[in-house]
Amino acid sequence: MNPMAKPMKTTEALDLLHQGQKVEDVVLLDFETQKLGFRDALLLSENGFVVPAGNIVYQDLDIQYDPDFDDTTWKGEYGKLSDFLASNQ
pLDDT tens per residue, range 8-62:
999 999 999 999 999 988 999 998 888 999 889 999 999 999 888 889 888 777 7
Bin 21: left if φ > 0, else alpha if -120 < ψ < 50, else beta.
beta
How many CB atoms are located within 10 Å of the residue 65 CB? 7
Distance of alpha carbon 34 from alpha carbon 15, whole angstroms: 15
At 81, which helix (H) or strand (E)? helix 81-87
Distance of alpha carbon 87 from alpha carbon 80, whole angstroms: 11
Three-state DSSP at 57 gives: strand
Whether this model's pTM surpasses 0.85: no
